Amino acid sequence: MIEARESEQSAVTQSSYSMHPVVHRWISHIQDDAGKRVFLRLAVMLIGFSVPHHTTKNYWVLQQRLLPHAERCLWWMGELEGGECNIEDITIGHATYSLGNLYSDQGRLEEAETMYQRALEGYEKALGPDHTSTLDTVNNLGLLYKTQGRLKEAETMYQRALEGKEKALGPDHTSTLRTVHNLGNLYKTQGRLNEAEVMYQRALSGYSAALGSSHAKSLLVVKNIASLQFVKGSLSLQELIVKFANIYN
């Protein structure tokens, strides 16, 4: 079994996970790929569903404890079946997606891309290309590519996610608006400022209607619009400072 261990000196920074030695020796003697795949599936599920969300207290430290186990899962995925691992089952898809989030949060972008691509492949086969789980993975790949500076690929992912979410959820759903906002950020990075403002204004209108104008998501878009208008020269520095002061008060 996998157990949590804590040092007496620091329960937060020194905690780790370990496998009981007897279980480890038992698994190491499994020779056939079929048996190994069973344990790989179990390991991916256990580690994937243990990944804390970024809203969890000390999530970054908690995630670090899981990294060695995630790395082992990734290694076995590459070893079995010549680099392929059957993740067509939805449960494994969700767990693999969570491992992608783990690597992304920890700045391990290559590993995050591998996990997201595996999750995407599994979701497309099990649920179809237009399912919301598939589209969320596409959106996260867009975020990843933008962080890597792969802006054309990011735009392709965002556009696919947006079109799919508009059909599946509607144009004003908060998940759809998240991708709209992401497109605004991308266009701003690309210097396409007018297109960025259109996306921001759409996101702000939708968030304000769905969540209220004082919600954190709405205020973030207000901040981004103000920054964009300053870059375009339609807002002075003093006006920008006033807008920011109103947002944070």
Q: Which of 84, 66, 65 is nearest to 76 (CA)?
A: 84
Q: What is the residue-level pLDDT of the chain in tens, covering all 249 positions? A: 344 443 333 333 344 445 545 444 545 555 555 666 666 777 777 777 777 777 777 777 778 787 777 777 776 665 545 444 454 567 878 888 888 988 898 899 999 999 999 899 989 998 999 999 999 999 999 999 999 999 999 999 999 999 999 999 999 999 999 999 999 999 999 999 999 999 999 999 999 999 999 999 999 999 999 999 999 998 888 888 888 888 877
Token pair listed for 202: 């759409």
Token pair listed for 148: 């890597």
Q: What is the pLDDT of residues 54-109, one digit of tens each?
A: 777 777 777 878 777 777 777 666 554 544 445 456 787 888 888 898 889 889 99
Helix, strand, or coil here: 31? coil
Q: List all residues 6 or more positions away from 39 whose beta carbon is below 8 Å from its beta carbon.
A: 27, 30
Token pair listed for 223: 């901040």
CB atoms within 10 A of CB 78: 13
Question: Is this structure's pTM higher than 0.85?
Answer: no
Helix, strand, or coil here: 2? strand
CA-to-CA distance for 221 and 204, rounded, in angstroms? 6
